[in-house]
Amino acid sequence: MSLAIPLKPRQPWLRVVWISVTAVVVLAFWSIDINWSRLIDVPAEIARYLWLMFSDPNWDKLPEALWQTWRSIQMAWLGTVLGILIATPLSFLAARGYGAPPVRGVLRIGFALIRAVPEIIIAIVILSVTGLTPLTGALALAVNGVGTLGKWGYESVEGIDQGPVEAVRAAGGGTMHALRWGVWPQSAPAFFSFWLYRFEINVRSSAVLGLIGVGGIGDMLTSYTQYREWSTVGVLLIVVVVVTMSIDAASAAIRRRITEGAPVRDLDRQ
């Protein structure tokens, strides 16, 4: 008795998609005016600028670099806190089962639109009102944080176990009781982890926002790069890398402790 092997289903639309994507990529390369011959000189130019920046760093600028980095961290922290205060209640309203469908739809579209706009564009719009101040950068980070924190928040709420929520409702609790006693205890670790991760993102983004003159280490880095003071630029890059990596490491350790809990000691080995 022979077994008939089913034929592989044909998906002509998938082939059309792949051909279209390939055509777009090829046309993108051909339409951009790129001097491919200069790619040969890129490694040598990178090595030359690295030598200019790090062969003899200007350590006299270290105190100012640390101060400007601290201002960038303050900007990132304020933007994170404001984003949390706005996004957290909105994320609950955007979750299925807790917000009205029209409200939920509007909030989700709003979160998507905010995420589609880079922080630097938001900052350019805000600076027309607040001027070139660190507050401009903090507000831009807060607005952009609402988009990401709101999305992460409602996805976390929708992914919890519905058993405790149903138990609260069965006991006569309303929506607020369900959120307080059924949703929040389960989603709190994820929310705390999201908040810390957003702070990491804001620390890096605050340096980029300095390029438009809102203050912080990015502003200082732009100024010395324009004047081609490479020895000072090298010190600034060292400070940015060390501080950013330190904050990332500390935040990752805290997030791991929140999500995994305290380590369990083996009492049998004691």
pLDDT band for position 142 (cuts 50, 70, 90): very high
pLDDT higher than 60, residue 166:
yes
Look up the pTM and report it: 0.79
Asked if CATH classification 3.40.50.300 holds for the domain at 53-260, the reply, yes or no, is: no
> What confidence score (pLDDT) does residue 112 get?
93
> What confidence score (pLDDT) does residue 198 get?
92
pLDDT higher than 60, residue 228:
yes
* Weakest-pLDDT range from 21-25, 61-65, 87-91: 21-25
- Location of structure tokens 């905010």: 114
> What confidence score (pLDDT) does residue 2 get?
54
pLDDT, mean of residues 165-172: 84
Residue spans of the domains in the chain: they are: 53-260
pLDDT higher than 90, residue 134:
no
Name the burial class of residue 264, with classes exposed (0-12), middle (13-18) and buried (19+) by CB atoms within 10 angstroms of its CB: exposed
pLDDT band for position 261 (cuts 50, 70, 90): low
> What confidence score (pLDDT) does residue 269 get?
57
> What confidence score (pLDDT) does residue 184 get?
85
For 36-94, the DSSP string reads GGGGGGHHHHHHHHHHHHHSS--GGGHHHHHHHHHHHHHHHHHHHHHHHHHHHHHHHHT
pLDDT, mean of residues 238-267: 79
- In this predicted model, what pLDDT tens digit does every residue of 179-206 receive, in sequence order? 888 888 888 888 998 899 899 899 888 8
